[in-house]
Structure 1
Amino acid sequence: MGNGKDHYYNKSKQEGYRSRSAYKLQQLDDRFDILFGGASVVDLGAAPGGWLQVAAERVGARGKVVGVDFQSISHFETDAGLETVRGDMTTEETREHVRTAANGSADVVISDMAPNMTGEYDLDHARSVHLARQALDTARELLDAGGHFVVKVFDGRDFQGFLADVEDEFAFVATNSPDASRDASSELYVVGKNRIVAPVAEGDELTVDIADEGDEGDGIARVDGYTLFVDGATEGETVDVTVTDLKPNYGFAELRDGDE
């Protein structure tokens, strides 16, 4: 244990955190601004509660944190609203408990879930990606537009495919290995910021009415209340477009051949 990393283990004992991993979330939040005052946070794989403690500190008295794990999570004093759910997120019963505890939606979903390690790298990696996908499914279910996501996953052959799925859901995606991770660890954290909730997908081909004109001269179409900016289109036109880029609250589309 002479590599200096267990500085974080000792530090956690001194500072009252339940796990050294608390410092990973602190460092991720310091870098990416995931947590904010008043946020509602769902923490998957929360036992023994180190991430919950950090989340509760950072969302403050107006915020709420919900922790979920197979194991029970003992209560701790916090100004934030705190609820814990004991159960398995692969079951509908547990998911329903979490939805209820979170009042149906969340601003942030975080997951430090890890598989029981077998020592067989490919198997541990595959199980890690499986857990990360469960966390992503929870984020899809609970996150409001503009919401944030943090998930642990082991690097390996399935990592890029998982990363691409996260990139489909969020306007900004990064990977990071916090200083508090052990030197020999293959764990990475994927951070997704600003959840995109749009009624269309990149590559969709649509026929839209141009209802308005933006400051830059783009035409503006609305699809189920979602704003699409269409370069080269004029108010009053009906045009065929291809969706090219999506942000949490608006997107961009190009005129298809024949409408230019």
Structure 2
Amino acid sequence: MARKDEYYNRAKQEGYRARSAYKLQQLDETANLLHRGASVVDLGAAPGGWLQVAAEEVGPEGTVVGVDLQRIKSLDAENVETIRGDMTDEDTKSKLLDLVGEDGADVVISDMAPNMTGEYSLDHARSVYLARQAFEVAMDVLDAGGDLVVKVFDGQDLQDLKDDIDPEFQYVREVRPQASRKQSSELYLVAKGRITAPVSVGDELELDITDVGNEGDGIARVDGFTLFVSGADEGETVRVRVTDVKPKFGFAERVDDS
């Protein structure tokens, strides 16, 4: 049996609206994207296969919001909300932010693809454009440490897209789910751990050490962001260089002679 028939038939038998539901399941297995209680935004969500999977994985404690220009038929899931509109429109973004809440989303996912023309270079460029739009929306709604998944067709503009996404996250990788059709050039960029820190690796700052952590490192704060400073004691003012930045904290070393 051809692979496309296998997933199409499984979707029909298991009640999923699209065979693409298995792509999200496999992406989740690979990258640990969805968890109980999470807040998920699905861009380009029609017909709703990814909404179904996300709703199952986050459970009743979580929330899933789908956005699409097309109407999404209601799902039998109390933790799913849908918005009909252009995801780049300010009114649509406002509705999305209201539903997600001030804490932001844990995950933004997008399975959007352009209407195919058969001209590969054009289809690739359009897929990159849609992926960039999803990335821009994600920057408005993702919480620190959040994850992003966008579909794109492989091609010459892929590396530039990755290079633009990479600085905003701990890392970006390419994933090709088994459920993708064998002849397809589609892949997914999975960006893990959004970084919203007010500092970057290599920055030099003069900071007050206000506390000491469990490992003995000094603790300083920059606009509410925590930096652990090796070799610094509470009460000192030291000049430091940032050596590593995580979504919710970072590390620095002294560069003074104290």
Q: Which residue of 2 aligns with 1:179?
A: 178
Q: Which residue of 2 aligns with 1:95?
A: 93
Q: Which residue of 1 aligns with 2:61?
A: 62
Q: Which residue of 2 aligns with 1:219?
A: 218
Cα distance in structure 1, aligned partners of 2:87 and 2:163: 23
**SS of 2:45's equivalent?**
coil
Cα distance in structure 2, aligned partners of 1:190 and 1:31: 12
Q: How many residues align?
A: 257
**Structure 1 residue 259: Cα displacement:** 4.1
C-alpha root-mean-square deviation of aligned residues, in Å? 2.0
Map 1:77-92 onto structure 2 (within 5 A). 77-78=76-77, 80-92=78-90
**SS of 1:168's equivalent?**
helix
Cα distance in structure 2, aligned partners of 1:4 and 1:148: 29
Q: Which residue of 2 aligns with 1:16?
A: 15
Q: Does 1:155 align with 2:158?
A: no
Unaligned runs of 5+ in 2: none
Q: 1:158 to 1:206 in 2, by over 3 A?
A: farther
CA contact (8 A) 2:88 2:137 kept: no
Using structure 2 for the length normalisation, give the TM-score: 0.91
Q: 1:220 to 1:58 in 2, by over 3 A?
A: same
Unaligned runs of 5+ in 1: none
Cα distance in structure 2, aligned partners of 1:227 and 1:190: 29
**Larger displacement relative to structure 2 (9-18 or 139-148):** 139-148
Cα distance in structure 1, aligned partners of 2:113 and 2:221: 42
CA contact (8 A) 2:3 2:179 kept: no
**Structure 1 residue 51: Cα displacement:** 0.2
**Structure 1 residue 194: Cα displacement:** 2.5
Q: 1:254 to 1:157 in 2, by over 3 A?
A: farther
Q: Deviations over 1:1-56 (max 9, x none)?
A: x6433211111111111111000001111222211112121100000000001111
Q: Deviations over 1:57-94 (max 9, x none)?
A: 1111122111111110000212x422111111121121
Cα distance in structure 1, aligned partners of 2:50 and 2:229: 43
